[in-house]
Amino acid sequence: MAQVTTTNNELTTPSFCFHKTTFGQNIRLENNASKAVRHTSFDHGITFTDKPININERIHLKIVEVDETRQWCGSLAIGFTQVDPNTIRQEDLPKSALPNLSSTNKCSYVKRLYETLTKQLCIIFYYNPDGAYFILDGKEQDICKNIDIKKPLWAVIDIYGNVKAVTFTIPPKTTDDGKSLFAKYPQKPDKLPIRYFTQLKPESFQPVTFSNVHGPELELYCEYKVALRKRVQKLVRPYLFINFPLAPGDELYIRILSIDPNYRTPGIFGFTNVRPSKFADKLETLPATDPAALVDRKEYWLLREEPFDDTLSELDEYRILFDKTSGEILLCRNNDTISQPRILTFADLNETFYPFLFLNGRITAVSVFALIAPNVRLTETNHNINSTNRTENNVEDDDSDRCTICYDAKATCVLIPCGHMIFCTKCKVDYEIRSTKTCPKCRAAYEQAIEVEVD
């Protein structure tokens, strides 16, 4: 079984810990004061480091517990103070760092972060002569400018609101390029043994790869079966397409090879009826930072913004199944037979869809390692999948893509949320005038009918 060669962060203690006597009344320290837990309420969670922090010394703070009930507003606050924690009595600490701690003196520099901080997220913060900064989602942002660095500065962490526990950790070993990715595992990343879906039989696999049309920050390795997001200052269109259209009954398997815990979300999963090759010379026409804008395009796009949960880990394996009965596209993690598969979206059973990832989150390297497509035989040329054979066995006069009312024009309107393509534009208008907004196929109510571009 393959093992990650990076060191487990929580087995190594940083050079500092939480101050062992000065902390909020709702705080409990654990693991030799490397972990702080707010065990009740939402405030009185101020903590300090046990010693001053050096210039450019980076603090890596990992969120290990959040309030799943979402009953509290507000979130973590971080920063620095010149006030020596040894001179503060616990009963004198305010309920929260902001505005209380900052308003009592002019020697504290603290900033409240986003409310949507997630479990396993790692935040980095530090200071230098130009100011104090934190790094989140790969972006450096200000805590405070023009700070006084002539005196010692202790770190301040206010465990407030929906964040319940944090721990100091060491810098993770990042996978920035192909060399570090190949050094991470004892085998080539496309040759790692299957850990969880061990019932699969390789002789039943069809060839599958990523498309060579992808975002500029991505690189492909191992005959297009492994993708890596390079470390760049700004992510611009990190689209990663699977070069095969899923049909009902198909199963696709991917493996997570590397994650960056500094990102709040894993990334975005989506599906489209457009061949990736169509974007070979016009990838710049796709949304750069917000793929939600894809649904405004004429083509057919389905998105799931939070496909993975906070258990996402390196070497996780995922199965994407296009259910041939319900039209659900399902996601199953590590062959889990206890939890229900996550529904990514609903899709029309008469259509095929190219899966894609928008790698703007924790996932920085991924491989595609198996495809089971029972109803098609494929050929592979120059490491790119020729998917045209999927329709070879179809009858030439198949009307499955026709409007179910006039049977003359092609169906071009996608019903949301069921995902069925039923009407042409003209018939959609006529149908909604004389009928309720109910899908003729599944009888489910639909909210809108989006016109898409079809081949």
- Report pTM: 0.78
Answer yes or no: is pLDDT of 8 > 70.
no
Average pLDDT on 292-311 reads 90
Answer yes or no: is pLDDT of 377 > 80.
no
Among the listed ranges 150-159, 268-277, 367-376, which one has the minimum average pLDDT value?
Answer: 367-376
Answer yes or no: is pLDDT of 194 > 90.
yes
What residues contact 392, with CB distance under 8 A and at least 6 apart?
Answer: 376
What phi and psi values does residue 219 have, to the nearest 5 degrees?
-130, 145
pLDDT band, residue 12 (cuts 50/70/90): low
Q: Report pLDDT digits (tens) over 76-124.
A: 999 999 999 999 988 889 999 887 676 555 689 999 997 689 899 999 9
Q: Domains plus CATH for the chain?
A: 9-169 (2.60.120.920), 178-376 (2.60.120.920), 397-455 (3.30.40.10)
Instruction: Provide the percentage of residues in the chain whose pLDDT is more than 90.
Output: 62
Q: How far is CA 6 from CA 11, 14, 181, 183, in A?
A: 11, 16, 11, 10
In this structure, how many other beta carbons lie within 10 angstroms of the beta carbon of residue 379? 10
Q: Cα(150)–Cα(153) distance, rounded to whole angstroms? A: 9
pLDDT band, residue 373 (cuts 50/70/90): very high
Among the listed ranges 29-43, 55-69, 356-370, 395-409, which one has the minimum average pLDDT value?
Answer: 395-409
The confidence score (pLDDT) of residue 385 equals 42
**Are the CB atoms for 190 and 247 separated by under 8 Å?**
no
Answer yes or no: is pLDDT of 411 > 60.
yes
- Retrieve residue 284's tokens: 């710049």
Pick the more confident residue, 227 or 431: 227
Answer yes or no: is pLDDT of 439 > 90.
no
Pick the more confident residue, 73 or 393: 73
